[in-house]
Amino acid sequence: MKFVIATNNQGKLAEFDAILGRAGYTVCSLREAGAETAEVEENGANYAENAFIKAASCHPPDGFAVIADDSGIEVDALGGAPGLYSARYGGEGASDADRRKKLLTALEGVPAKKRTARFICAICCILPDGRKIEVTGRCEGSIGRVEKGGNGFGYDSLFILDETGLTFGEMSEPEKAIFSHRARAIQALIVRLKEENITC
């Protein structure tokens, strides 16, 4: 079975491909699969609902499963913001750099011990027979005062993982494939796929 990843984010696609690929699953982009997607409003009440909305909007060819995720960074000093609006933080047309700058500005003057944060990722997988698998991954850390590292995307260069003391931007892809919220969600998905006897 092949899996279509319902995203146009190349960074996300690479993470899914790397981890699922090592487990023996075949991953395709929307374009590679010739999948159709409808324009959707991510108006779910949580990450899991948004992941399902995105997965359900994708119509791959027969025999393909579809995977979508929704993720966000929650900063305690900001009451959990940007949260569900992480990808839209900074307004329409804002770049990743714009969003990082806005986050740093919002945290000006906040001491290190109060800059705690977490990344959360929810994944929804819809199988060809209509069955739905939902999993979640998370990781705890804090927001640095300056960007560190040029790897990754989004908020990666600001998020310092508790377990390593490094930002995701400082980690190699193999390291991030162990520690990130999305990696943990994908690993949970692999466990569920094996439980359901879903093979390639």
Catalytic residue from among 17, 69, 70, 156 = 70
- Asked if 82 contacts 72 with a C-beta cutoff of 8 angstroms, the reply is yes
Does residue 162 carry a catalytic annotation? Answer: no
3-state secondary structure of 74: strand
**164: CB partners within 8 A, 6+ apart:** 171, 175, 179
Instruction: Please state, in angstroms and as integers, the Cα–Cα distance from residue 68 to each residue in 13, 45, 107, 116, 186, following that order.
Output: 10, 16, 31, 27, 11
Calculate helix-pair angle for 10-22, 181-195, nearest 10 degrees: 40
Instruction: Please state, in angstroms and as integers, the Cα–Cα distance from residue 145 to each residue in 78, 81, 113, 170, following that order.
Output: 15, 17, 12, 15
DSSP letters of 91-131?
-TT--HHHHHHHHHHHTTT--GGG-EEEEEEEEEEE-TTS-
Residue with tokens 């992480």: 86
Q: How far apart are CA 30 and CA 66, in angstroms?
A: 10
Catalytically active residues, by annotation: 70
